[in-house]
Amino acid sequence: MNLRADPAVARGQVALVTGASSGIGRATAQRFAAAGYRVAVNYATNAAAGEALAHRIGGAAFGCDVSDPVAVERMVGAVEAVLGPIDVAVCNAGFYEERPLEEVTDELWDRTLRVLLGGCFHVARAVVPAMRARGSGSIVAVASELALIGGVNVAHYVAAKAALIGLARSLARELAPTIRVNIVAPGAVDTPLLPDRDRGPVYTSTVPLGRIGRPEEIAEAILHVAEAPWTTGALYSPNGGVVIQ
């Protein structure tokens, strides 16, 4: 496990953000740091990006594959040793790969579930005992608008994200009133995971607000639900109006 800490970081609440080396995760880490949190920047393989971000925002970088429950337990222990007790855990780590059903291998199916669903489960299981002992905590699961409406060539991805919503809602009931658990399910956002076809006018013309989202907008939503004191089990989907419920 790799970690880096800035000794000058101010003492404040601690937020762990998984999958924080790019995209929504990076924007979320930056937003929490701007709000005064000491941020644990988790990355899977891109150590350079994770450590650079942690240095820039005065946090700490932790390399960990969230699909590995033992590694997650060790990471959570390291975060608490370096930064202090975890107040907020943002389960954002994931990947996106389109495949028609008949080309979804058992390996891809298993990996998708292990990372997208298992990753959040592992993080929650690791952070909850200390949160309960302290009497407070907040967990945010990052899902997808596709979990609400389905999609073409992404059955494996949608299945994992939809299950993630179910997991978070169940945890919200189980862990209340001590720990709040909420879900943010973004629409199409300008990150490296977004297919090029969803960046052009053919797609954006179908979005009521006329454009794709920005990572910073999703980060703002994540911070909001993480801190909302009378909100648990909620699903907030910033998607430009594609999904209106």
Phi-psi sector, 58: left (phi>0), alpha (psi -120 to 50), beta: left
Is 157 tagged catalytic?
yes
Cα separation, 128 vs 151, whole angstroms: 33
Collapsing DSSP states into helix, strand and coil, what is residue 154? coil
List, as one string, the DSSP characters of 166-194. Answer: HHHHHHHHHHTTTEEEEEE---SBSSTTS
Say how far residue 183 (Cα) sits from the centre of its chain. Answer: 9
Residues near 39 by Cβ (< 8 Å), separated by ≥ 6?
A: 14, 15, 16, 17, 20, 29, 32, 33, 54, 57, 58, 59, 60
Token code pair at residue 194 = 């977004």
Cα separation, 42 vs 2, whole angstroms: 10
H/E segment holding residue 28 = helix 23-34
Active-site option among 43, 157, 203, 236: 157
From 212, 124, 209, select the one nearest 170 (Cα to Cα). 124
Could you list the active site residues? 157
